[in-house]
Amino acid sequence: MARRRTTRVLALLPALALATAAAAGCAESTTAGGGTADGGVAVIEAGFLTTCTHMDYKPFQFHDQGKIVGFDVDLVDAIAKDMGLQQKIVDTPFEGIQSGEDLNTRRCDVAAAAMSITPAREENFDFSDPYFDATQALLVKKGQPIRSLGDLRGKKLGVQLSTTGETYANDNKDANGFEVVQFEDLPLSVTAVQTGQVDAAINDNSVLGDFVKNNPEVEITTEFTTGDQYGIGMATDNTALKDRVNAALKKLKDTGEYDKIYEKWFGKKPE
């Protein structure tokens, strides 16, 4: 996932965004006295399920005409509604999410950032049940003869800092003889492919697939089966919240609401 050095706090109601400034890079709590969801689960601010995420990672969370929108945004909106709450979004550097600092210091209740469940992250905080399957993909300029990591020998591969794509690239660079080039966020890494700064970029297949739709000069030439699954993060041992989020996720899937959200953003129902 992406990272940026400026922190923004946005309170997102389904159709109305409220903005509040926050200090860059801080992990200060945004609590306003605390409250409870339906069923008595504690949340850090009365009436809200506060969500840490990091923009822009289209189509999961991104800015559009002054609003924060996306698949993760709609999904957590629905979870919050099921809990009798409204979602409030905190746009924060990914380092604070991945390290667990934002969750374990109660800066937010949950973290939803198209974030793969990994053993390293599970050491820092707890995850919900998986809610999305992903894998890694390779983006190149159209027509370039790069269809595998082996084709990148002597070339540059762009990665987004602290993502599973970066891990995959580093794990395979010595065997395939390419240079890994870090970028702070998704837009910088895909722009680097367009401008020739790097020969290819690796990231989750869904976000690169969305980018290709509006940028015909690039293409995805291969995908790597990595078995990535996204989960919603919560503070370590916050079992009550974890159980409540998992119950809401199950209800959304059982009622077909999850499929509607998925189809809205990906043009098809999940397989």
Contact 114, 60 (CB under 8 A): yes
| Residue 25 pLDDT exceeds 50 | no
Q: Do 167 and 241 belong to one domain?
A: no
Residues 185 and 207 in one domain: yes
Task: Count up the domains in the chain and report the number.
Answer: 2
pLDDT given at position 229: 96
* pLDDT mean across residues, the chain: 88
Give the separation between CA 261 and CA 181, rounded to whole angstroms: 34
63 shares a domain with 149: no
Is the residue at 236 inside a domain?
A: yes
**Residues 241 and 123 occupy one common structural domain:** yes
In DSSP notation, 185-219 reads SHHHHHHHHHHTSSSEEEEEHHHHHHHHHT-TTEE
The answer to the question of residue 24 being in a domain is no
- Residue 51 covered by a domain: yes
What would the mean pLDDT of 56-71 be, rounded to a whole number? 94
User: Is 70 exceeded by the pLDDT of residue 236?
Assistant: yes
Same-domain status, 81 and 53? yes
Tokens representing residue 122 in the block: 């599970």
The answer to whether the beta carbons of residues 56 and 63 sit under 8 Å apart is: yes
What tens digit of pLDDT does each residue of 90-139 get?
A: 998 888 898 899 999 999 999 999 999 999 999 999 999 999 999 999 99
* Per-residue confidence (pLDDT) for residue 33, from 0 to 100: 64
29: number of Cβ within 10 Å: 14
Both 128 and 141 in one domain: the answer is no
Give yes or no: residues 87 and 109 share one domain.
yes
Does 254 reside within a domain?
A: yes
Residues 213 and 154 in one domain: yes
86 and 207 housed in the same domain: no
Confidence of residue 250 (pLDDT cuts 50, 70, 90): very high
Alpha carbon distances (Å) from 193 to 156, 175, 177, 199: 10, 22, 19, 6
Per-residue pLDDT at 20 exceeds 50: no
The enclosing domain of 84 has a CATH number of: 3.40.190.10
What's residue 110's pLDDT? Answer: 98
Say if residue 249 is in the same domain as residue 215.
Answer: no
d(CA 199, CA 182): 13
157 assigned to some structural domain: yes
Structure tokens that stand for 145 in this block = 């003869």
Tell me which H or E stretch contains 50: strand 48-53
| pTM across the whole model | 0.83
Mark whether 102 and 162 lie in a shared domain: no
In a domain? residue 198: yes
Average pLDDT over residues 143-163: 94
Domain around 56: 38-133+229-266
Region 223-239 average pLDDT: 94
- Does 59 reside within a domain? yes
C-alpha closest to that of 112 among 82, 78, 155, 141: 78
* Structural domain includes residue 22: no
